[in-house]
Amino acid sequence: GAGVSQSPSNKVTEKGKDVELRCDPISGHTALYWYRQSLGQGLEFLIYFQGNSAPDKSGLPSDRFSAERTGGSVSTLTIQRTQQEDSAVYLCASSLVGRDRGIVYGYTFGSGTRLTVV
């Protein structure tokens, strides 16, 4: 597609359940990010995938959070045993990254998945 697609757009789940959030980046984009934005807060970095490099997982808040990117394209963010503090908008972004210097193109963000844990 023309943009970054995230699904579902909204998710309400019960505390303790597992959820999976999906991100379809722009075709050919090598870099993919997951961020989350809580009410009244800034953007919190979660995880970064770049090409075939090992992902930067330094932003994942706990071991309940994990993410994978299959075939260098679609990414899934999984939250196990959800807690109320996990409620937030989860944003995915993708971009091309040049090998010989840094970013040339701006990242394109998806519309996000609004997760509500009740």
DSSP one-letter code for 32: E
- Piece in contact with another protein (CB under 8 A), picked from 10-18, 35-43, 61-69, 76-84: 35-43
Contact between 31 and 49 (Cβ < 8 Å): yes
- 23 forms part of the interface with another protein (CB under 8 A): no
Map the footprint of another protein across residues 37-96, applying CB under 8 A.
42-43, 45, 48, 50, 56, 91, 93, 95
Contact between 69 and 79 (Cβ < 8 Å): no
CA gap 17, 5 in Å, rounded: 24
Q: Which residues in this chain contact another protein in the complex, by CB under 8 A? A: 31, 33, 35, 42-43, 45, 48, 50, 56, 91, 93, 95, 97, 101-112
